[in-house]
Amino acid sequence: MTLRIGNASGFYGDRFSAVRELLTGGPLDVLTGDYLAELTMLILGRDRLKDPGRGYARTFLRQLEENLGLAKEKGVKIVTNAGGLNPAGLADAIRELAAKLGLEVAVAHVEGDDLVGGAGELGLGEPLTANAYLGAWGIAECLNAGAEVVVTGRVTDASVVVGPAAAHYGWGRQDYDALAGAVAAGHVIECGAQATGGNYAFFTEHDLGTPGFPIAEIEADGASVITKHEGSGGVVTVGTVTAQLLYEITGARYAGPDVTTRFDTLALDQEGPDRVRISGAKGEPPPTTLKVALNRLGGFRNETTFVLTGLDIEAKAALVREQLESSLTDNPPAEIRWTLARTDHEDADTEQRASALLHCAVKDADPKVAGRAFSGAAIELALASYPGFHVTAPPSDASPYGVYTASYVDAGTVPHVAVLPDGTRADIDPAAETLPLSDVDEPELPAPLGGSTRRVALGTIVGARSGDKGGDANLGVWVRSDEAWRWLANALTVEEFQRLLPETASLPVRRHLLPNLRALNFVVTGLLGEGVAAQARFDPQAKALGEWLRSRHVDVPEVLL
């Protein structure tokens, strides 16, 4: 029997009602939730500093308070990484909640990912948080022991889907193709409504409304159909699934702790309205190492935005920059970053359209330098600088910021423990068979597409989805016909990519081809500095980088238009 897994959360702060929507909207076997992003681990780490009993996603507990009884009644099992830095604490809180609600619920959890206590011995320094990405087998062990709710710490996003599928079908550790198929399905639904039309490049082609949350119908061989409850908003198409497959990946080999999934083997087919089949997945043994997400407190930051209106925008920006920097010479911040956004228009009919924005951000280890010293110096210029001086909001006290880095440790050094509903602790061995990760051979380019061209926005025919991995940005693009792929694969080279996005011109950029998806994926190293928590750029998670690319004008063959 096909296993129906629905995901009710793509991040800590996603739609609160999604749990109930999935439980009441139609048949479901397993409900999952992904609450952990790189930034979330930093937030939970700061929570744990204040109270060692915290460190998990409290929103999930409130969602269960409304829906645990309903899930029990319907026989829907729940698997989530909402345990964050304290899965045992969340498991205990769920047991207390169940007792309060008069329910008997078998609760289990998975732990071992938290390496902060031994970070120094592993060569990881002294971070605020250090969490290895565990796989799916601890989850499967809990479910096989009768757990109705399983909470984990940091597992890979797809593992909350792979674990239930492996338990349901009895897959073994070396059923790589089936595991790879489940990874693909898990990767698609992990970000919730992004698979059902949310944040979709061609959104104007559909009546999205409020998109429902995605469901993966996983079959015994790992193939799946991505869908949603009938009557819920949004849309599931080959395009929406392609966009999510490209989200935050690198090349054709997608490594995980249980299997390396070959994304260059995946085939997508539209089976019917809101039903897209993913098949053909091939899997390989995982690498010997596990990725570790590290967060540390980087210091303090502050910012303000000066509004420059009318004439002489560049001269006004130069004046206030010179004035502010010279007033900070006694206590100069360790880092000061200026960004001028020329949002102004000539002969504008509104004051806002006549104005540009000059953003200034500072960082320093001393909160006084980034706080009162900077704020005071900026505001003291109010009557002594460019004409029309004002700011969007006055700078305030400095706020702490975090720095994310990734490291890797031998999988054998990381404990992976399933704590079963009866309290029994089951150790999960690392993968017995491994394979070093390497790039695939570059596929041959298709024959170029010739003919006359017209200059249009790239996004006229190209979709995109972008995001972050630490300090790197990932940008996937795809087209919807074989003819368009012939053009895209030959036209959008690394050099052309860097020309269209000048901000990337001085940075390392790698291009990966995925012909089966008619897609390219670009990885820009260092674009995001020290990661999202450090707020290094205007769009710190590169979420709109793809839309910037789509807005650039290029020469496109008229036959495609």
% of the chain beyond a pLDDT of 90? 91
Residues 6+ apart with CB under 8 A from 352: none
Q: What is the enclosing helix (H) or strand (E) of 321? A: helix 313-327
Confidence of residue 517 (pLDDT cuts 50, 70, 90): very high
- Look at residue 377 and tell me whether its pLDDT is greater than 90: yes
Amino acid symbol at 92:
D
Please tell me the distance from the alpha carbon of residue 446 to that of residue 136, in angstroms, as a whole number: 38
Tokens of 10: 């793509």
Please tell me the distance from the alpha carbon of residue 91 to that of residue 392, in angstroms, as a whole number: 45
Please tell me the distance from the alpha carbon of residue 194 to that of residue 268, in angstroms, as a whole number: 17
Mean pLDDT of 456-470: 96
Please tell me the distance from the alpha carbon of residue 326 to that of residue 353, in angstroms, as a whole number: 30
Predicted TM-score (pTM) of the model is 0.95
DSSP state letters, 42-63 = HHHHHHHHH-TT--S-HHHHHH
* Number of neighbours of residue 423 by Cβ within 10 angstroms: 7
Distances (CA, A) of 385 to 116, 306, 319, 336: 49, 11, 7, 19
- From 83, 425, 84, select the one nearest 94 (Cα to Cα): 83
Mean pLDDT of 434-453: 93
pLDDT at 508: 97
- Say if CB 386 and CB 412 are below 8 A apart: no
What's 451's DSSP letter? S
Q: In 34-147, where does DSSP find H-type helix?
A: 38-50, 58-74, 87-101, 137-144
Mean pLDDT of 248-257: 95
Tokens of 364: 């320093």
- Look at residue 389 and tell me whether its pLDDT is greater than 70: yes
Q: What is the mean pLDDT of the chain?
A: 96
Sign of CA dihedral 163, 169, 175, 176: negative
Distances (CA, A) of 207 to 40, 198, 238, 559: 32, 11, 16, 28
Please tell me the distance from the alpha carbon of residue 545 to that of residue 553, in angstroms, as a whole number: 15
- Say if CB 384 and CB 82 are below 8 A apart: no
| Domain edges within the chain | 294-403, 453-556
Mean pLDDT of 268-288: 98
pLDDT at 536: 64
Query: In the structure, how many helices (H) and strands (E) does the chain have?
Result: 14, 26
Assign domain 294-403 one CATH number from 3.30.70, 3.90.550, 1.10.3470, 3.30.460: 3.30.70
Alpha-carbon Rg for the chain in angstroms: 25
User: Minimum mean pLDDT among 38-52, 96-110, 475-489: which range?
Assistant: 38-52
Mean pLDDT of 339-343: 95
Please tell me the distance from the alpha carbon of residue 150 to that of residue 153, in angstroms, as a whole number: 10
Report phi then psi at 401, rounded to 5.
Answer: -130, 160
Locate the DSSP E strands across 205-273: 214-218, 224-228, 253-254, 260-262, 267-272
pLDDT at 238: 98
- Look at residue 188 and tell me whether its pLDDT is greater than 90: yes
How many CA atoms lie within 13 Å of 60's alpha carbon, on the beta-carbon side?
32
